[in-house]
Chains A and B, each alone.
Chain A
């Protein structure tokens, strides 16, 4: 049984006596071992949904700090930094080519168990993604019901907004009136 599942889980069901709805797709008996893509096709009256193992399209283009030329490995006593901390990139919310790697196709931030970031970087990237979405820079990565064009948004949302990355880790953003308080 386990062997069959590892090869890629396949289950067939009759369309007439459909018990499981097609929207429920997360079916696996054992832990999935490889990057998988769900494909479904019909053979006569039978709907076949199978998880096909596919190679990751990103592996060839991957940038890691340890592969770069001027890399200094951290001392063994220190905790190993996550890959974004090690790279030390100054990511802005306008860098949509980087931020779009951390989101699903509907624009949601991926959880930490998938991104593999440290908690601080996960929080930072998550907020940068929110900023980019609010500024209307990643509108092709949105749910289908979303207004794609920022100009079609209501009230104050239809005008251009930019964000300051310094505000991400501030406990409280000071207001201009704060300087008058004692």
Chain B
């Protein structure tokens, strides 16, 4: 085996560390993307019996965005096993308790329920803020593209840019400015 082939072999089977910024991302949409990197579905050598999954580091999981009224509509079910042990926790209550739990459960549910799933989940790191431990940070070599654009607030845009932006609506002639 030549040196080039050996390096190619090494690069093919090495685990890549990806980073994903969850700011303003829907966890249920982004779980389908994260799942592919975790399981190694994006690689041409993928096979279910082939351990080729990568590591994904999710940051800013506190800043995820849910669609419409899902913060108060989506409930997470848990049963302790005892009679009367069922609880339904709303998404905003769960996010108050643990800001990493929603994205973790979303990725877990996006994958097929087999024996490999628990081991695949071990390769997912989720951090509520932007701070990552140094030993995790030094491994990261790739960034996963965000699905949704992060919206810009109007008060964060400079005033002169708002004034100069092309207008579609003009006031009628007899309008009193307020």
A positions within 8 Å CB-CB of B: 26, 31-38, 51, 54, 56-59, 61-63, 83-84, 87, 89, 94, 96-98, 100-102, 104-105, 113-116, 135-141, 155-156, 159-164, 167, 173
Contact = CB atoms under 8 A, between A and B. Distances in A.
Contact of A101 (B72, B169, B174): B169
B27 to A, nearest CB: 11
Contact of A31 (B95, B151, B174): B174
B150 to A, nearest CB: 9
A101 B168 contact: yes
Contact of A161 (B71, B170, B174): B71
A37 B67 CA distance: 40
A160 B24 contact: yes
Given A155-B72, A162-B65, 14 more contacts: A54-B177, A57-B163, A58-B167, A58-B170, A62-B166, A101-B168, A136-B153, A139-B154, A139-B155, A140-B154, A156-B71, A156-B72, A160-B64, A163-B67
Interface string B145-178: 0001101111101000011111111111111111
B92 interface: yes
Interface in B44-100: 63-68, 71-72, 90-92, 95
Contacts of A51: 176
Given A156-B72, A162-B26, A35 B175 contact: yes
Contacts of A141: 154
16 contacts: A33-B173, A33-B174, A34-B174, A35-B171, A96-B153, A96-B154, A100-B162, A101-B169, A115-B169, A136-B153, A137-B151, A139-B154, A156-B71, A159-B65, A160-B64, A162-B151
Nearest to B64: A160
B108 to A, nearest CB: 18
B128 to A, nearest CB: 12
Contacts, number: 125
Contact of A59 (B26, B90, B164, B170): B170
A137 to B, nearest CB: 5
A37 B177 contact: yes
A36 B153 contact: no
A139 B95 CA distance: 23
A35 to B, nearest CB: 6
Contacts of B95: 159
A128 to B, nearest CB: 13
Contact of A139 (B66, B153, B176): B153
Given A31-B174, A54-B177, A59-B170, A97 B149 contact: no
A100 to B, nearest CB: 6
Given A32-B176, A35-B177, A160 B63 contact: yes
B130 to A, nearest CB: 15
